[in-house]
Structure 1
Amino acid sequence: MKVAIVGASGYAGGDLIRLLLTHPHAEVTLATSRKHAGQPIETVHPHLKGFTGLSFENPEPEQIDADVAFLAVPHTAAMNYVRKLLDRGIRVVDLSADYRLPKDVFERVYGVPHIDYFEAPYGIPELHRNEYRNTMFVSNPGCFPTGATLAAAPLARYAHTVIYDSKTGVSGAGDNPSATTHYPNVGDNVNPYKWTSHRHLAEMRLELSRLGSKATGYFTPHLVPVNRGILTTAHILLSEPLSQQEVERIYRDYYKDEYFVRLQFPMLAAVRGTNFCDIRVESEGHRVVAASAIDNLGKGASGQAIQNMNVMFGFDERDGLRGAGVLP
């Protein structure tokens, strides 16, 4: 199966190439980049030298030849590609935010008009896989909403309030240097940002409602001096108290058949480079604390995108994603 990665020079694009090297049914045959067109892949992704033989290309959407395309382009750019690819029979996994939200919510949160809106399935497989088996398109969730939602999902219908506190690695900001990601501003520091207004909150609240919850969601992210990973602490406030034993049983039952959700102490190093989400819960009655760890480029982006591709095509969801984390 031929795979095109549109926007392959970024961190997510590089991780897609790396992970798909071991996929039994897929081969990356096209990696696009406007800026680096004509250059070998390893000029941007030196860890991939000797693995692909590919060079970046810059075709028009109408010239892309593939069975599936991953869109690893900036938010508001994907909507310029999707229809042209779908019309040619190419399945699409979109890593941008362009189809994650209802049209009015997207335009309010991202501040631009949506030029090609349609209602798309939201790709957290553990929660929604049955909605996009054999479909042509799936919208890959944001990294923060993935870790937060998986942490809270089993108790969502019991909650009246959910407060998410997340610590994220610097790679979540992308590969363009800025004052925010400048090493002296990040090293030996923890920086809260967009305290009450991060755009991923809209996805988190939408997911709570999809899970049948009437809970109000809140979210504050923090930037921490690590390369990869998101550690989310979800404070789940319940209408009725639940004991530790009840909460543990609920989580075991909810995720009993989910390979990529592990109920163990969440450590960023244990999920680094993987598609796993590690979760542990502790109850004090009316408040349950659920902490999750994901790799923001793995389960938070490229890993989950490949898992979604596997769902769409009917492959084993673990294909291309069986690697262990890197610890220490």
Structure 2
Amino acid sequence: MKAALVYGANDLRLQEVAKPGPPKAGEVLLHVSLVGLCGTDAQHVAHPSRPPRRPGPIILGHEIVGQVVAVGEGVTAPRLGERVVPGAGWWCGHCDACLSGRTNICDEYFLYGIQDHGGLAEYACFPAKMCVVVPSTCPDEVAVLGQPLAIALHAISRAALTGNETIAIFGVGGIGSLILAVLAGRGHHRILAVDLEDSKLAWAEHCGALAVHARQRSAHDMIEMMTGGQGVALAIDAAGTATSIPQALASVRKGGTLLLVGIPKGPVLLPLGSAIVSEKNIITTNGHCCQHDLPAALALLASSDLASRLVVETIPFTALKERGLGRLLSQQAAGKIIVSLQEERSSE
């Protein structure tokens, strides 16, 4: 079968490898249909930073939709023939974090497609407990957005919104665009979208957001002007850069909140003195809780037009490097990139 394997930094190979054997106890074997790409994939290929759990190259891919073609011992759900979306992160179920329902920060947490074999292959094995059945009304082309949407829903849940806040989203590619789409769909009419790219800002305006072009002048200054000097109740940083995070914190009004979604590559200098005096809240979010956020994401995709409001491009497996990961690394991707494992369904 064809698969995308990461051998090391900037060493991604599209190869023919052996199909996985029968699934182990508690696992299911999936015939993979579509796989989404994200910045985490691109950064991992460029600079693998998490220790692998197995020797040798790792199959990339953690945003997957596929059909169950075999089940391991003890698996009662999902069933053969069902379409599923797996979560991305493993959880143990018995540490303090898991027992409190926060499986995304499990003591034994690791990521499929980063630290163990993922799904950028024709067939892939995943733990059955991580797989959520796709509603019958949700086609694969929509369901493949389930895992990243679960991350967006988890992030939004951390913010405890009332619905009347003025919100600024720094970075509207990848997860940022999903957060914006969800908030717009929920009726949050005062959303400021901050980005460097004209195409992303044009899409954000189409969704009803007010564009803040970060190249033209300080985003903080522009937001202050747009909010009458008050700042926003909530700033969501989905860019994760040493520039965007301080700007996002500065744009928060007194008593407001900064939600950190993007993960910076290194240390970030923050003006905490003024933040403390103004009692600004800084909260973080990581991934998603598979058993809660992923079913909610698939239900939302099946019952709304959210997917139709996103910019999605499907590419063939053979174009993974140039038209997929390469554009993500250079920040040239205008929207979500999906890889088809079935060439006849790909758009050239």
Q: So what's the TM-score if we normalise by structure 2?
A: 0.28
> Which structure has the larger Rg over C-alpha atoms?
2
Q: So what's the TM-score if we normalise by structure 1?
A: 0.30
